[in-house]
Amino acid sequence: MNGRILIVAGSDSGGGAGIQADIKAVTALDGYAMTAITALTAQDTRGVHGVHAVPIPFIRQQIRVVLDDLGADAVKTGMLATAEIIDAVADEIAPLAGRVPVVIDPVMVSKGGQRLLDEGATAALVARLLPLADLLTPNVPEAEALTGLEIRDLDGQREAAARLLAMGARAVLMKGGHLPGPEVTDLLVTPAGETYFTGERVDTPHTHGTGCTLASAIATGLGQGLPLAQAVARASAYVDLAIQTAPGYGHGHGPLNHSHTVRPFP
C-alpha cells in the first residue's frame, strides 16, 4: 500500500457513494483508506431516505486519533451536512494545510436530488474550507451555489473556476457532467493555467457516487506523490472505466464498478 488517505465524509448504506465508495476507490488504487464519519444515511440507488448526523465531539475524536497514530499523506472531505460540522472539521485539518494535500468535494445534493448540506452551511463551506483546499472538485450545481453564477458551457466553467480560486481554493477541478452534449469536459484550473479532461459521455443511469469516487481517487494520487494534473488524469481514467463496467445493481442510480483494477486470485 502506498499513501495514507484520511476521508472525512458521510456513510452511504447502499455502498455506492460516500465513505463506502471512498474506501473502495482508495483501496483499488493501492492506497490505505482511513475515515472520520460525519453522518449516517439510510440510502439506496433510489435516494436518501434518512440522515443521522454524528455528534461533533466524536467527529473531532475520529480525526484526531487517526492523525495522531497513523498520520496522513492526503485528506479528502465529502458530505459534511451542517455549518457546525464544517467548522469542526476545518479546525481539525487546518494544521495540515501546506503540509498534506487537502481535496474538498463540496457535497451538497445527492444523485437523487436530496440535500446533503444545510441551506445555511454554504457560507461556512466558503469561509472555512475553501482556504484549506489544495483542490476543490465541484460539479455544475455546486459551483453555481458557491459562486452565484449560471454555468451553461465551458466558458461558464472557466469563469466559475476563476471565481473559486479568488475565494481561496488553490486549484479547482470544475466538473462538466451536468452540462449537455456527447462529450464531458472537466476543467482543471490553477494559477499556472488550465488543463482539459474530455471524454465521451456514457449513456447510463449507473453513475451513483461518481463525484465521491473521483475526489478520493485524486486524493490517493496526491497522497502517493503524483503531480496534480497526473493525479486527476489517472483518477478520471479510473472513474471512466468504473462507469463503463458498472454492475447494474439497484432500481435507480446504480453504483460504479470500483474494483475493476482488482484481479481475482487464481
Hey, which residues are catalytic here? 175, 207, 209-212
User: Hunting for cell 446533503 — which residue is that?
Assistant: 116
Are 62 and 36 within 8 A, CB to CB?
A: yes
Of 153, 159, 155, the closest CA to residue 172 belongs to 159
Which H helix or E strand runs over 38?
A: strand 32-44
How many whole angstroms separate alpha carbon 132 and alpha carbon 94?
7
* Type of residue numbered 257: N
How many whole angstroms separate alpha carbon 153 and alpha carbon 155?
5
Q: Which three cell numbers stand for residue 251?
A: 432500481
Distance of CA 246 to the CA centre of its chain: 19
Of 160, 169, 92, the closest CA to residue 127 belongs to 169
* Type of residue numbered 182: P
How many whole angstroms separate alpha carbon 178 and alpha carbon 221?
25
Are 31 and 102 within 8 A, CB to CB?
A: no
